[in-house]
Amino acid sequence: MKLFLGLFLVLSANSLYAQTTLMSDTLKRKNEVVVYGKGLPFAFSDRTSTIQTFDIARNRALPIRSVNEALAYVPGLDLRQRGVQGIQGDLSIRGGTFEQNLILINGFKLVDPQTGHHALNLPVLLTNVQNIEVYKSSGTRIFGQNAMTGAVNFVTQPERSYGVNMQLFGANFGGLGFQSTVSAPVGKLRQSVSFGYDKSNGYWYNSDHTNQQVFYDAALPLGKKQELKALLGYSDRAFGANGYYTPSFPDQWESTQMAIAGLSHQAVMDKVTLLTKASLRTHRDEFRLKRFDPAFYTNKHWSEVITIEETGKWVSKLGTTGFGGEWRLEGLNSTNLGERERTYVSGFVDHTLKLMENKLILVGNVHYFNLYMNGNTYQKFLPGFEAAYVLLPSLRIYGNIGQSYRAPTYTELFYQDFSNVGNANLQPEYATNMELGASYSTTWGQVVSGSRDSWKSKITIDASVYRRNTNNMIDWVRNATTDPWMPVNLSNVIFTGVESNINYRWNGDGKFMLREVSLGYNYTDASHQFADPSQVTQSRYAFSGLRNQLVGRITANLTRWVAVSVAYRGVDRVGGNAYSLLDAKIAVNPSRSVTVFVEGNNLANTQYVEAGYVQMPGRWFKAGLQIKMLD
């Protein structure tokens, strides 16, 4: 209750500030692609590291029914699901663990101090997310703690006009789903509310699930240079968890509820822009080893996280200076982990220079954090440097080096059960990230009148090499199968990799034609050095990361209003068997506002496991209807 009261007071005080969309509107008028990061928009063309944008509308040909599933088609991301329709999954970036990345909604952080397994318990839907921003390499300069290997930001934008975007579908295994987003502006207030529900009876024993989501998003201009934004979200999931964490108890069951409330203000002055944000995230988790016998073994966890952030930038003749700070309180009440609380404070300063008629961009930065945890204080300054150079109007190169870090979760510190023992002596893990990359992009032709696609023809080629030297990396290890798993700080783990992606899309009159071809490849090599190699023979995560990944897709128009898309995913993980997945979708558009679709997943009927001991489904299908109407 104190946490809720504290947040209320913070939000009341924050009303003295204001936010603007002037910066993003200015960029859009220049036909710039805009990315938002923590909330201050910037031009995609000014990036100095690998950032990928996943436009939901432009990727509507993919056979997905949740925003979580969309991540599986982004090269360099490893989405390891424990079920269908995005009910539960772990995300890793460039060989990192699922704990080493940060998830955000509109720049609001979804930090879960209990475990990263809950990071993708999201309240947002395909009908209200417009874009997914994927930040690779070190995300510490932009996002701070937890963005050790990168970050993913889900962006929603309330429409300026009345409208409805809804879809419903049925699937094998008793699957059924419904999503709806209603936009209802009132005067200058832009707002939308979304509802989602899906269920499945399960594709193998004890794999049924239900999922309910609610999301509210609003933006209110306060004059020409101010705007207030708010969001509210809720997700309620319950699922049979056969094979999730152990094969010994097939009747495992779990239920989670996540809620988030966020408020932000941004003020644009002559030379200074200020962004103030406050948010509250709560999460409840109940886990049973025996679904219908809760007295046998049940864990209950309730976490609350309050975050207050101030971010700004100052533009002068010497360049642009960015600055900011964050305060966060993480609390937990758990039947297994006990009552816990810790505080986190951080700050940063960076400076950007644009030279040679803006062809050369140089960014120097330093990040400071202070973490009070388990009676100990951890603090450190983490410097970084980034650069980008425009060789040609369509070709740019970039490079960066920076440090990142992550604090252990309460599960890693204190968890106790039959086969796992936490380690209260764990320390934060650190990494030095290095990256070199190049990006080529060019467009041609005109937007075709009458086409459903409002873009020109375009080809994009991206390539990068990266290296991440991780110190004190946290991993669960044991030296015999009869011993419990225990997390330890490994001495050193070095990740080296290469990533490439090509996307070629055409716009035309909508008749029979090839519409889009994309191909992405990622390779990661990991070299491990244990503090005492003689005591470690088994590792839970260090020897199971993504090694080779190939993602490809072809989309074509069969007629003006009939399109087909085929997607391929090839996955090879360290210590596991390689496998390939083939998905497809056929969409029919009898009118501009109505789409009828049929989707097939795992058409080759591949037998595979992505996470834990969960056998994923063989060949399965979905069929449904989508309606989108705007004034």
Q: What is the pLDDT of residues 581-597, one digit of tens each?
A: 999 999 999 988 999 99
101-105 and 150-156 strand pairing: parallel
Instruction: Report percent pLDDT > 90 for the chain.
Output: 73
C-beta separation of 242 from 207 below 8 A: yes
pLDDT of residue 31: 54
Mean of the per-residue pLDDT values of the chain: 89
Predicted pLDDT at 444? 82
Contact assessment for residue 417 and residue 336, using Cβ atoms and an 8 Å cutoff: yes
Q: Tell which residue, 333, 297, 529, has the closest CA to residue 419.
A: 297
pLDDT at position 92 is: 94
For 458-492, give the DSSP string.
Answer: EEEEEEEEEEEEEES-EEEEESSTTSPBEEEE-SE
Angle among Cα 436, 440, 443 to the nearest 5 degrees reads: 160
- Rounded-to-integer distance, Cα 140 and Cα 132, Å: 19
Question: Quick one: pLDDT at residue 375?
Answer: 87
**CB 587 within 8 Å of CB 595:** yes
- Quick one: pLDDT band at residue 456, thresholds 50, 70, 90? confident
Its domain, for residue 31, covers: 2-630
Q: 412: part of which helix (H) or strand (E)? A: helix 410-414
Least confident span in 195-204, 306-315, 505-514 = 505-514
Report pLDDT for 16: 34
Question: In CATH, what number is assigned to the domain containing residue 443?
Answer: 2.40.170.20
- Say if pTM beats, i.e. exceeds, 0.85: yes
For the stretch 94-138, pLDDT in tens is: 999 999 999 999 999 999 999 999 999 999 999 999 999 999 988
**What's the number of domains the chain is made of?**
1
- Specify the pLDDT at position 277: 97
pLDDT at 72: 93
Other Cβ atoms less than 10 A from the Cβ of 156: the count is: 21
C-alpha distance from residue 573 to each of 245, 496, 613 (Å): 19, 15, 15
Question: Which tokens go with 496?
Answer: 């080296």
- Mean pLDDT of the 458-480 span: 92
- Model confidence pLDDT, tens digit, residues 154-190: 999 998 899 999 999 999 999 999 999 999 999 999 9
Residue 522 pLDDT grade (very low, low, confident, very high; cuts 50, 70, 90): very high
What's the pLDDT band for 457 if we cut at 50, 70, 90?
confident
